[in-house]
Each structure stands twice: as structure tokens, then as C-alpha cells.
Amino acid sequence: MSEAIDASRGDYDDPLATPTYILGLVGTVILIATVVLVHTLSNNTGQSMQDEALERDYFEIEQVRARQQEQLSSTVWTIQEEDRASIPIQQGMERVIEQYGNGN
């Protein structure tokens, strides 16, 4: 039996071993370098975003604390039509003690 050889399909010999090993080794090194680079960049980006969020949160918390401290230590009309005012907490505690006694 004679087999028909199709010249358009090329040579079916196995590739040489040395170039295959070199190509596999170079591909592995490139893959590992890429994974390490991506991990490093994503870790740095995540850390910097976290630091930025912490700084922003700290700033906002300090602003809220300053407003709260101002409310605790200043006298302000809350509802002027009804003659209501907010007074500092220390003064309020003193007035309650004066009016109702110290409980003894």
C-alpha cells in the first residue's frame, strides 16, 4: 500500500528538544516575573488607597468632634420662637443640681 503524502501539511517530525526546553524555561521566567510584578503593584496601590482613606476618615472625624465640642461649650438658640436655647453641658448639669438637689 502506498500512502498518499500531502505536501501542504508540512513535516511531521518532532521539534528539537533543546529549543523546546529553552522556550519553556524563558516562558516560565516571564510568567513568574509578571505575577510578582502584578502582585507588588496591586499591593502598593491597595496600601496607598487604604492610607488615603484613613487620612480622610481621620480628618472627617476631627471635624465632627470639633463641631460636637463647640455645641457642648456654646450657648445657641435652638428654637427662638419657643424661647429654647442650648447651653453648655456643664452649666446645664449645675442648673439641674441647683433645681433638683444632689439627691441627698
pLDDT tens per residue across span 67-90 = 888 877 887 777 777 778 788 888
Instruction: Classify residue 54: in a domain, yes or no.
Output: yes
Residue at 30 is within a domain? no
User: Is the pLDDT score of 24 beyond 90?
Assistant: yes
Task: Tell me the H-state helices in the chain.
Answer: 17-73, 89-100
> Residue 50 falls within a domain, yes or no?
yes
For residue 52, being part of any structural domain is answered with yes
Q: In 3D, which of 65, 84, 81, 62 has the Cα closest to residue 73?
A: 65
Burial of 86 (0-12, 13-18, 19+ CB in 10 A): middle
Asked if residue 2 is part of any domain, the answer here is no
Q: What is the pLDDT of residue 1?
A: 47
Does some domain include residue 56? Answer: yes
User: Is 4 a residue whose pLDDT tops 60?
Assistant: no
Residue 53 within a domain? yes
Neighbours of 87 (CB within 10 A): 14
Q: Domain for residue 22, yes or no?
A: no
Question: What pTM was computed for the model?
Answer: 0.36
If one counts the domains in the chain, the total is 1
Indicate left, alpha or beta for 83 from its phi (over 0: left) and psi (-120 to 50: alpha): left
**Domain range for 47:** 38-72
Please give the helix or strand (H or E) that residue 79 lies within, else none. strand 76-79
- Give the pLDDT mean for 15-24: 88
Q: Which of residues 25 and 20 earns the better pLDDT score? A: 25
